[in-house]
Amino acid sequence: MVRSPQSPVLSIHGLIKDVGPLSSLDGKMLRVVSGVSLIAERGQVTALLGANGAGKTTTLECAQGLQKRSGGSISLLGQDPATAGAGLRSRVGVMLQDGGLPPSARPLPLLRHIAGLYARPWPLEDLVGRLGIDTFSRTSVRRLSGGQKQRLALAAALIGRPEVLFLDEPSAGLDPQSRQLVFDLIAELRDSGMGIILTTHLMDDAQRLADYVYIIDGGRNVAEGTVQELLQRSPVPDQGGEHVRTLVFEAPAGMDLAAVLDGVEVSEPRAGSYSVTGALTPGTSPHWPNGGKRRASCRPR
């Protein structure tokens, strides 16, 4: 896919985020994002794929202006989210990982309230009908199922008809039916020109939704491309027990992993951390000369 260089909705360059000082680190700062860069376009779904703790949510929250970055630059619709005002926030929809919904609230009054914050909100009945919220519109949030909460959080993110939509783990807690409903809506929004940025730890989600994927691990970019491109990097057809996967290994720095594993692409984004993409089984474990171990895996279907 061609990544057109003109006016991305979001561009992040060399993002750095330190947290702390942490008592567990003798009062030192911990670098949770160290140099993530990405670009998200209008009319596309851009996915940040990675294991839990990879730095996806922190990256997103810096882009949303919820966290202050420690370094690097972010441009969201041409503005810096750290200093932008209500004008920018009205053009951006956010669905947080933990929902952000008050347990005592009821869906319909809550959505009506949030809609009032925008000049031209999405007509409430239409949005509520599309996401099937009308069946539980008067049940308090604390009584909703995980999938119902997730759909409500999505509605809250969409009520302002944003140009950019952030979804943090949108399929978490969704039953298969809700998942289909939500995925169909995301595809429709994408086709209508919305720029959508989502995080997921499931390659399956990325494969179904994403036009472009950034694989993040240890707070860094380790791979990127269209799903097709990421899959085509494998010389072996996707069948049997071996599938195209990206596995991340930790081992002594400077090892020649490509010599240990056949037919794979290896990169070492930082010393001692290897990203290996190719036809691998989940249990793939190279016979290291001096005892490295697999640290995390991102598993395509």
Partner 1 sequence: MSSAAIPEMQQPASLVRRVLLQGKYEALTMLRNGEQLILAVVLPLLALVGLTVTPFLDGMGSSRINVAVPGILALCAMSTAFTGQGIATGFDRRYGVLRFLSTTPLGRGGLIAGKVLSVLAVLCIQVVVVGLAALALGWQPTAAGWLPGLALLALGAAAFTALGLLVAGTVRPEATLAITNLLWILLGAMGGIVIPAERLPAAAQAIVHFLPSGALGESMRAAFLGAP
Residues that bind partner 1 (CB under 8 A): 64-66, 85-87, 89-92, 94, 96, 98-105, 113-114, 116-120, 122-123, 126-127, 130, 156, 160-163, 188-189, 191-194
CB of 91 vs partner 1, minimal distance in Å = 5
**Count of beta carbons in the 10 Å neighbourhood of residue 38:** 21
If the CB atoms of residues 101 and 258 are measured against partner 1, the closer one turns out to be 101
Check: CB of residue 279 under 8 Å from CB of residue 234.
Answer: yes
Contact 172, 140 (CB under 8 A): no
How do beta strands 164-168 and 195-200 pair? parallel
CB-wise, 85 or 176, nearer to partner 1? 85
Min dist. Cβ of residue 171 to partner 1 (A): 18
State the minimum distance, in angstroms, from the CB of residue 201 to partner 1. 19
From the CB of 37, what's the least distance to partner 1, in Å?
Answer: 23
CA-to-CA separations, 300 to 43, 142, 215, 231, 297, in angstroms, rounded: 24, 34, 12, 8, 10
Please say which residue, 43 or 225, places its beta carbon nearer to partner 1.
43
CA distance 63 to 65: 5
Among candidates 155, 142, 145, 143, which has minimal Cα distance to 108?
155
Toward partner 1, which CB reaches closer, 109 or 237?
109
Cβ proximity to partner 1: between 192 and 239 the closer is 192
The count of other CB atoms within 10 Å of the CB of residue 7 is 11
| Gap between the Cα atoms of 278 and 19, Å rounded | 34
Q: How many Å apart are CA 238 and CA 247, to the nearest integer?
A: 16
CB of 86 to partner 1, least distance (A): 4
Minimum CB–partner distance for residue 166 and partner 1 (Å): 8
Residue whose CB is less far from partner 1, 184 or 204: 184
Please check whether residue 141 is in contact with residue 102, taking contact to mean a CB–CB distance below 8 angstroms: yes
